[in-house]
Amino acid sequence: MGRLDKYRKLPVFKKADEILELAEIIVEAIKEDEKKEHFAREILSNAMLIGAKIAGEEGGSLYSLRMQNAVIIKLAIQDMLNAVICTEMFDINEEEYVDLMRDKVEEFRLEFVEWIRGFDKTIDIPDNWAIRYDTSTPEQEKLEELMFDEDKIDNIFLKTLMVTI
């Protein structure tokens, strides 16, 4: 396993793999129904997105981008779980699969929280969308000044590059 594959060792990525494996089993178990294709696509596409976003996260280090992807991961987990729950509600899947997926999602959530707590908040630049930074605060004004200081921005990118190497 090369240095580019180090994300595969992360507990959160391992849990994402377990979720994908269970999602594949659940999709296979869905009874033939006109809704099967829709739910299968929803479950699998979201389960695959989780691991892909974690892998992508480990390649970068800007805090705001990492948190943006963390939100995407959270939404993918929720959408996938909702689709699994719907298959049981429409009586095209077994309740046991829903319970198994809920348990896996909870295991993932615990690893996910631990993982995002490790993100370095000091490695960041403002993105002008005012999501992470309140544009009306003195802190934001300082950050906006930073945006136009090429030396400081270059230092942040160098620090980011060093973290990823």
- In the predicted model, what is the mean pLDDT of the chain? 84
CB-based contacts of 57, cutoff 8 Å, min separation 6: 7, 66, 69, 70
Q: Taking residues 76-90, what's their average pLDDT?
A: 96
- For position 157, what pLDDT does the model report? 55
For helices 11-29 and 36-57, the axis angle rounded to 10 degrees is 170
* pLDDT of res. 8: 87
Domain boundaries for CATH 1.20.1440.60 within the chain: 3-117
Question: What is the average pLDDT across 25-45?
Answer: 94
The residue type of 47 is A
Band (pLDDT 50/70/90 cuts) for residue 39 is very high
Q: Which long-range contacts (CB under 8 A, 24 or more apart) does 111-118 make?
A: 111/11, 111/12, 111/14, 111/15, 112/12, 112/15, 112/70, 112/73, 112/74, 114/11, 114/12, 115/10, 115/11, 115/12, 115/54, 116/66, 116/67, 116/70
CATH placement of domain 3-117: 1.20.1440.60
Summarize the confidence of residues 19-48 as an average pLDDT.
95
Average pLDDT rounded to a whole number, residues 82-102: 94
Distance CA 142, CA 139 (A): 5
pLDDT in tens, 115-153: 999 998 888 876 666 666 555 666 666 666 665 556 655
